[in-house]
Structure 1
Amino acid sequence: MPERTESESRKLLRRLRDTLAEAGAGQERLDRITHLIADSMRTEVCSIYLFRDPDTLELCATEGLNPEAVHKTRMRLGEGLVGRVARTATPVNTGNAPQERGFRFMPETGEEIYSSFLGVPIQRLGERLGVLVVQSREARQFSEDEVYGLEVVAMVLAEMTELGAFVGEGESLPSPHKHPVLFRGLTGQEGAAEGQVWLHEPRVVVTNLVADDPKAEVERLRSAIEKLRVSVDDMLNRAVVTDKDQMEILQTYRMFAHSRGWMRRMEEDIARGLSAEAAVEKEQSATRNRLQQAPDAYLRDRLHDLDDLSNRLLRILTGQGGDTGAAMPANPVLVARNIGPGELLEYGRSLKGIVLEEGSVGSHAAVVARALAVPLVIHAGRITDEALNGDPVLVDGDNGVVHLRPEDSVATAFRDKIAMQAKAQERYASLRGLPCETLCGTRVGLHMNAGLMADLPSLEGSGAEGVGLFRTELQFLIRNQVPKRGELAALYARVLDAANGRRVVFRTLDIGSDKVLPYMKPQDEPNPAMGWRAIRLGLDKPGVMRMQLQALIRAANGRPLTLMFPFVAQFEEHVQGRDHVLRALDAEGRLGHPLPERVEIGAMLETPSLAFAPRQFFEMADFISIGGNDLKQFFFAADRENERVRRRYDSLNVSFLSLIEQIVARCAEVDTPLSFCGEDAGRPIEALCIAAAGVRTLSMRPASIGPVKHLLRRVDLREARAVIAEARASGAQSVRSAVVDWLVRQG
């Protein structure tokens, strides 16, 4: 690359740095930036388009186009050349823009006299903020060096986190990381919490984007790379790996760290004027964009490795290491891109709330959050970029909303909500020792869901009659290798000890779908929720199932044992699972181990197909538990992870209630006990309708037992059934409105 180009590039970046440091109103400052870029690149036009919303771009500043078009010209994502750059996140470089595919003429801008067009995305680490464009009358393509230089400038602009303030009004800039921000995500665990941000992996803040001494920056980069490689090699040498696929993944991680191409590209970035830190971020963004568009799922999954390595390198360069000396606040709300179950358990019950950018309602983190009874919001996009340690934050797990640095009025209203919930819990506590008996004399058993030893004290505190679901997969998920049979037997024995004679229903290993073991080869299934999971995996891996059944039998040590198989879709699967239990009992007896006093073998009904199973299934099963979460998503063919469809379908839909009533009737024919387990069991109105349908046992999170008992003790199920029947006869799609109106009339 010619020395003149290097000098021009560094000169532009220095001028841009100085301009960004100047005070002034936001629009004036942005106008100065477009003038500077047009002047430095010797083009007649420079324009900045920013996202107004995820699908709309707005012209926010220009040098050369009609100034009256600023904040008026807008285009959809993919519309015109600017929209194409935004959609693909790749540059468009043409000497004849009007003849280019997708060109759209915007008459209010006056751009018809300009032939040449170069547009590059303004983005940072996968976050697309807008498009930077230069244009000229001369019909020419911009050189490779000019394209690269504009990309570097766009990256520097992307670091202006306050860019959003320019959209719409062009007001003065607020200070970054100071103003209130609202994030709308999904509910992972219900509840409300107020606290201060504690970042699981704090974002490295790069403040020196431009450097004047390339040689010194290259030396800094090489020194940091060497430290990174040593730390990665040490980490991999210490790792205990028995699985071939896991070893291949770790070797890929090492390959990234030793990539010569990665190093060469960062050195080229530095030669054009970037600091070492900015060069790392630029390559991280560019590689992220390439991998995100890769058709190979394996390559897309390597994004995590790339991000982790880049962040490690940035911490070395900036000195912002893992141990920053910051102390966790007294009321921490954990904020992370994602987190594993083991790491989350290390935080324990000290957390007031959890907010994740990624995750799912069935993920490891969500399961642990429910076990810890901590409010969780998932899919809170970009919060790790915006939040700083110590920021005040409100977590509304009920509605999937997070208020970061909330205004006083919002915080006051939120505290009122928390206070009301606390008063309600006090009221529910007075019911703890009372039975859940309706006004018509119907007894409904309320049991709790659990998955950790830490859950068991809630048996006393919540008033639960037993554990309707103990999730055994957590002990597999938090380890780096298969747990030993003796370890599991000891844990299950402690669970039974803590239950103090109350019934505990152990669900056998429910993995697969989005619950993938760290030591299990990932299955690239197009629809994992309906793939190789739960009992399907257990029957195909009989050694694992046998080991777990032996651990459960030994843990019982002569006491009653209750277990159930998850995700049974047909009678034959239950027959095979039951046969495994009987063979394990026979083997343990021959070894001289004490056998359980009584064994109950049940099934979770989570697929509509099992509701139509032969009569023999309902006769053979010692009990059946309706798994409401999965049954609902398969009944309506609506993925519960998909916000676009999951809220379209109501649990109190008459068709779904009819299915539950059919299951109740089939169990009643052969006198098989039936329970309902899932989120709806813990929602008072849904619980009322499920009980009215004939289900006499509900299993839920401990915090829901009080509210459900409070409502059921105040209603007559005969009247509730009459209200439901009337709503159904009227042709209503859901009975919710009718039931709510009836409850209001009841006071």
Structure 2
Amino acid sequence: MEAQTGTDSRKLLRRLRDVMAEDAAGQQRLDQITQLIADEMHTEVCSIYLFRDEDTLELCATEGLNPEAVHQTRMRMGEGLVGRVARTGDVINTDDAPNTKGFRYMAETGEEAYSSFLGVPIQRLGEKLGVLVAQSRAARHYSEEEVYAIEVVAMVLAEMTELGAFIGEGAAMSARHQQPVLFRGATGQEGASQGHVWLHEPRVVVTNPIADDPEREMERLNGAVEELRVGVDRMLSRAATGDKEQLEVLEAYRMFANSKGWMRRMEEDISRGLSAEAAVEKEQSAARARMVQVNDAYLRERLHDLDDLSNRLLRILTGQGGETGAEMPDDPILIARNIGPAELLDYGRKLKGIVLEEGSVGSHAAIVARALAIPLVIHADRITTEALNGDMVLVDGDQGIVHLRPDETVAAAFRDKMAMQAQAQDRYVSIRDKPAETLCGTRIHLTMNAGLMADLPSLESSGAEGVGLFRTELQFLVRSRMPRRAELSEIYAQVMNAAGDKRVIFRTLDIGSDKVLPYMTATDEPNPAMGWRAIRVGLDKPGVMRMQLQALIRAAAGRPLSVMFPFVAQREEFRSARAEMEKALERERILGHPIPSKLEVGAMLETPSLAFAPHRFYQEVDFLSIGGNDLKQFFFAADRENERVRRRYDTLNVSFLSFLENIVARCDATRTPLSFCGEDAGRPVEAACFAAIGLRGLSMRPASIGPVKSILRRIDLVDLRTVIHEARDEGHQSVRQMVMKYLKGKL
């Protein structure tokens, strides 16, 4: 068997391009391709298996196997040798297929006569599309040149699917980027929105994977790489005085940009018949495939650097991406793998929604999305590979669902939902200035959460009585360096000025866990949520805490000031933090600066341990705020970032409500003001139950104040408390069902 040479490879690709250029339906093209490959590789069988759905492969074309098996033979991911190639992304090359691990005999195909098997994945940038297979009767091991040739063909097939080359009656591939797609992710920020896709990093589509003139393609590649190197050097010179981590990333960029191995592989791809763009993308796909399999965090980061560098090179070669002149739509829904807080703030409130492939409910992006009141869905796997700029998209932040290119039935139903929500908001406007007073005469104080100056107008429009939580970490997260005391003081003063006579509770810096400052060395912890974070960081780095406390005192300029320390787990942590406040006050007195006319120092109760703190703690603290998001995850030992467990436990579980009642009782005994802050405070049913067990303050996102106030004004807390106790006495795990039944009869 003669080996394929570079010239033979180009000949194969040219013939493949000719087939693609013919005016033919998708199935006809697939059939012609299998015949072509079998002929060029001198092998009896060539078959193409494509994904029908994310778990099922289907035989879609074959030369050599039983033609009646086409569109009849299917297998699951990982099933048989074909399924194994699809699952692992690795090539299988064996001269004894029946005795190779994982082999599965498909009687209907007639493949029992073939001993040799060569299977390569059809994939594009980590997106699995199918498997290309060659088989022969003779027991032979396919040569490296033959493997390389079929890999190149598989890569071109992947590009052709991107361009819709296999659309048509009978073909497995439906039109790429034209069909409706549903993504089930997770809620990052509630709310619903409709708009058009705006990709944070537009995908590059290679329209010319096959080239006739290798020398010309080499010139194009070398020119683009040189432009890339100059750009990286320019970034390095600008960042010469920047932080160490940024410099390390750029040094890694320069290393890859000057990598001889990277260039050699791309040049070899071009010599085989690929265009410069296709050569770059082939190596990028290989890097992404390795990225999935690498566990080492450092290596994964380096492969991610190479992936980003490849994107830059592709944009130079194709002219696509950020420099295309594309205009953002009037109703943009931002789609991205992930995004930093500063970049998200640059977009601002013009965004109608955000969808991320990665992210977490406590990530920087989620914090900013909540501050901007923009619906956010996270963990929408593979949406960046499916979406194109301008696609219609519906974002359901309440359910964590995204409809990409929805059909009219789905879009109409979604519009109805949004209209009903808008009507409800109109109803809430009528009670905006009325108190949240229940039928039994109990007054509940409703405040809002904030983190940006942009939030403050919501104080008036939502009817909030104040800011129950102002997240100060956002001013740290969106900068590339530590903010100065004067900068923070000015921001805090603006917040207090905007709030007027309404109280603002400033939470001190809550970093750590998934909120890592870009200029602070990240610590590799096995469980960051229970690690070095919040008050623990503040007490270990008292200089930062003192600077922030001084900024708050100066911002108050003699006005009342409320400060709250996060993640306090025991009395001594609060006492140490309060001592830092006393030191800051004394320093400001010495400097002659005005002292707050009234100072309240509180703590967030986010760990079960603080609920059982000594009685003296409850006497010492000026106020307490239950941080429901963290407290619930620690109470149930259920990571709120883990979709498998975070929805497993109900806030209205009788055990959790009993635990909260115990906290209420302890605060009542010491007359310590207590509020509940978190997502659950903004859910009307949960809010009603919190009020029924004795909580008199609730802090939530501004949009939730209307719905919560509406339900509180229509219920009697004495009756609802009776329902809760009855459910507990009857042995129910959650009071939700009985509470819903009661509310249904009242509302």
The alignment's TM-score, normalised by the length of structure 2, stands at: 0.96
1:125-204 superposed matches below 5 A: 125-161=125-161, 170-171=170-171, 174-204=174-204
Q: Kindly provide the amino acid, as one letter, of the partner of residue 465 in structure 1.
A: E
Q: Kindly provide the amino acid, as one letter, of the partner of residue 736 in structure 1.
A: R
Instruction: Label 1:160 to 1:615 Cα distance change in 2 as closer, same or farther (>3 A).
Output: farther
1:83-162 superposed matches below 5 A: 83-161=83-161
Instruction: Label 1:3 to 1:223 Cα distance change in 2 as closer, same or farther (>3 A).
Output: farther
Distance in 2, matches of 1:62 and 1:573, equals: 70
Q: Offset of 1:49 from its aligned partner?
A: 2.5
Q: Which residue in 1 is equivalent to 2:686?
A: 686
Instruction: Label 1:193 to 1:105 Cα distance change in 2 as closer, same or farther (>3 A).
Output: same
Q: Is the 8 A contact 2:50 2:59 kept in 1?
A: yes
Distance in 1, matches of 2:200 and 2:477, equals: 19
Structure 1, residues 604-647: CA drift from partner, whole Å, max 9, x if none? Answer: 11122222222222222211111111111222222222222222
Q: Once structures 1 and 2 are overlaid, which stretch shifts more, 104-113 or 452-461? A: 104-113
Distance in 1, matches of 2:4 and 2:161, equals: 31
Q: Offset of 1:512 from its aligned partner?
A: 1.4
Q: Which residue in 1 is equivalent to 2:394?
A: 394
Q: Is the 8 A contact 2:26 2:169 kept in 1?
A: no
Q: Offset of 1:244 from its aligned partner?
A: 3.2
Secondary structure, counterpart of 2:601 in structure 1: strand
1:193-232 superposed matches below 5 A: 193-232=193-232
Q: Is the 8 A contact 1:52 1:167 kept in 2?
A: no
Instruction: Label 1:244 to 1:287 Cα distance change in 2 as closer, same or farther (>3 A).
Output: same
Secondary structure, counterpart of 2:267 in structure 1: helix
Distance in 2, matches of 1:496 and 1:726, equals: 45
Instruction: Label 1:616 to 1:38 Cα distance change in 2 as closer, same or farther (>3 A).
Output: farther
Instruction: Label 1:111 to 1:245 Cα distance change in 2 as closer, same or farther (>3 A).
Output: same
Distance in 2, matches of 1:91 and 1:649, equals: 43
Secondary structure, counterpart of 2:436 in structure 1: coil
1:437-456 superposed matches below 5 A: 437-456=437-456
Instruction: Label 1:639 to 1:27 Cα distance change in 2 as closer, same or farther (>3 A).
Output: farther
Structure 1, residues 256-285: CA drift from partner, whole Å, max 9, x if none? Answer: 221111111110111111100001111011
Q: Offset of 1:23 from its aligned partner?
A: 3.9
Q: Which residue in 2 is equivalent to 1:563?
A: 563
Q: Kindly provide the amino acid, as one letter, of the partner of residue 622 in structure 2.
A: D
Q: Is the 8 A contact 1:462 1:702 kept in 2?
A: yes
Q: Which residue in 2 is equivalent to 1:525?
A: 525
Q: Which residue in 2 is equivalent to 1:420?
A: 420
Instruction: Label 1:275 to 1:620 Cα distance change in 2 as closer, same or farther (>3 A).
Output: same
Q: Which residue in 2 is equivalent to 1:354?
A: 354
**Does residue 294 of the first structure (1) align with residue 294 of the second (2)?**
yes
Distance in 2, matches of 1:113 and 1:377, equals: 51
Q: Offset of 1:321 from its aligned partner?
A: 4.7
Q: Which residue in 1 is equivalent to 2:721?
A: 721
Q: Which residue in 1 is equivalent to 2:374?
A: 374
**Does residue 314 of the first structure (1) align with residue 314 of the second (2)?**
yes
Distance in 1, matches of 2:367 and 2:23, equals: 48
Q: Offset of 1:72 from its aligned partner?
A: 3.7
Q: Kindly provide the amino acid, as one letter, of the partner of residue 234 in structure 1.
A: R
Structure 1, residues 132-178: CA drift from partner, whole Å, max 9, x if none? Answer: 21111111111111111111111112224469998999457544322
Q: Which residue in 1 is equivalent to 2:637?
A: 637
Distance in 1, matches of 2:532 and 2:418, equals: 41
Distance in 2, matches of 1:53 and 1:486, equals: 57
Q: Is the 8 A contact 1:183 1:381 kept in 2?
A: yes
Q: Kindly provide the amino acid, as one letter, of the partner of residue 729 in structure 1.
A: D
**Does residue 485 of the first structure (1) align with residue 449 of the second (2)?**
no
Q: Offset of 1:86 from its aligned partner?
A: 2.1
Distance in 1, matches of 2:624 and 2:167, equals: 56
Q: Offset of 1:552 from its aligned partner?
A: 0.9
Distance in 2, matches of 1:89 and 1:168, equals: 27
Q: Which residue in 2 is equivalent to 1:605?
A: 605
Q: Which residue in 2 is equivalent to 1:673?
A: 673
1:300-339 superposed matches below 5 A: 300-339=300-339
**Does residue 513 of the first structure (1) align with residue 513 of the second (2)?**
yes
Structure 1, residues 201-220: CA drift from partner, whole Å, max 9, x if none? Answer: 21111100010111110110
Distance in 2, matches of 1:669 and 1:168, equals: 74
Q: Once structures 1 and 2 are overlaid, which stretch shifts more, 248-257 or 208-217? A: 248-257
Q: Is the 8 A contact 2:168 2:174 kept in 1?
A: no
Instruction: Label 1:165 to 1:272 Cα distance change in 2 as closer, same or farther (>3 A).
Output: closer
Distance in 1, matches of 2:105 and 2:623, equals: 68
Q: Which residue in 2 is equivalent to 1:407?
A: 407
Instruction: Label 1:535 to 1:161 Cα distance change in 2 as closer, same or farther (>3 A).
Output: farther
Instruction: Label 1:567 to 1:303 Cα distance change in 2 as closer, same or farther (>3 A).
Output: farther
Instruction: Label 1:16 to 1:697 Cα distance change in 2 as closer, same or farther (>3 A).
Output: same
Q: Offset of 1:480 from its aligned partner?
A: 0.5
Q: Once structures 1 and 2 are overlaid, which stretch shifts more, 45-54 or 205-214? A: 45-54
In structure 2, runs of 5+ residues without a counterpart are none
Structure 1, residues 550-602: CA drift from partner, whole Å, max 9, x if none? Answer: 11111111111111111122222222212211111122222222111122111
Q: Which residue in 2 is equivalent to 1:255?
A: 255
Secondary structure, counterpart of 1:449 in structure 2: strand
Q: Is the 8 A contact 2:236 2:247 kept in 1?
A: no
Distance in 1, matches of 2:165 and 2:431, equals: 52
Q: Kindly provide the amino acid, as one letter, of the partner of residue 369 in structure 1.
A: A
Structure 1, residues 277-330: CA drift from partner, whole Å, max 9, x if none? Answer: 001111011112223322311111234322221111111101125232222222
Q: Is the 8 A contact 1:468 1:505 kept in 2?
A: yes
Aligned residue-pair number: 746
Q: Which residue in 1 is equivalent to 2:44?
A: 44
Distance in 1, matches of 2:77 and 2:619, equals: 58
Distance in 2, matches of 1:642 and 1:72, equals: 38
Q: Is the 8 A contact 1:25 1:173 kept in 2?
A: no
Distance in 2, matches of 1:734 and 1:22, equals: 64
Structure 1, residues 107-150: CA drift from partner, whole Å, max 9, x if none? Answer: 33322221111111121112222222111111111111111111
Distance in 2, matches of 1:478 and 1:172, equals: 46
Q: Is the 8 A contact 1:447 1:464 kept in 2?
A: yes
Q: Which residue in 2 is equivalent to 1:712?
A: 712
Q: Kindly provide the amino acid, as one letter, of the partner of residue 108 in structure 1.
A: E
**Does residue 77 of the first structure (1) align with residue 77 of the second (2)?**
yes
Q: Is the 8 A contact 2:19 2:33 kept in 1?
A: yes
Instruction: Label 1:606 to 1:336 Cα distance change in 2 as closer, same or farther (>3 A).
Output: same
Q: Is the 8 A contact 1:51 1:167 kept in 2?
A: no
The alignment's TM-score, normalised by the length of structure 1, stands at: 0.96
Distance in 2, matches of 1:400 and 1:169, equals: 34
Q: Is the 8 A contact 2:291 2:304 kept in 1?
A: no
Q: Kindly provide the amino acid, as one letter, of the partner of residue 248 in structure 1.
A: E
Q: Which residue in 1 is equivalent to 2:270?
A: 270
Q: Which residue in 2 is equivalent to 1:739?
A: 739
Q: Kindly provide the amino acid, as one letter, of the partner of residue 697 in structure 1.
A: G
Distance in 2, matches of 1:648 and 1:354, equals: 25
Secondary structure, counterpart of 1:159 in structure 2: helix
In structure 1, runs of 5+ residues without a counterpart are none
Secondary structure, counterpart of 1:444 in structure 2: strand
Distance in 2, matches of 1:83 and 1:263, equals: 32
Distance in 2, matches of 1:693 and 1:186, equals: 30
Instruction: Label 1:167 to 1:610 Cα distance change in 2 as closer, same or farther (>3 A).
Output: farther
Structure 1, residues 230-262: CA drift from partner, whole Å, max 9, x if none? Answer: 011101111254543442232112212211111
Cα RMSD of the aligned pairs, angstroms, is: 2.1
Distance in 2, matches of 1:103 and 1:111, equals: 12
Q: Once structures 1 and 2 are overlaid, which stretch shifts more, 43-52 or 651-660? A: 43-52
Structure 1, residues 372-396: CA drift from partner, whole Å, max 9, x if none? Answer: 1111111222222222222222111
Q: Offset of 1:103 from its aligned partner?
A: 2.4
Instruction: Label 1:171 to 1:46 Cα distance change in 2 as closer, same or farther (>3 A).
Output: closer
1:586-605 superposed matches below 5 A: 586-605=586-605
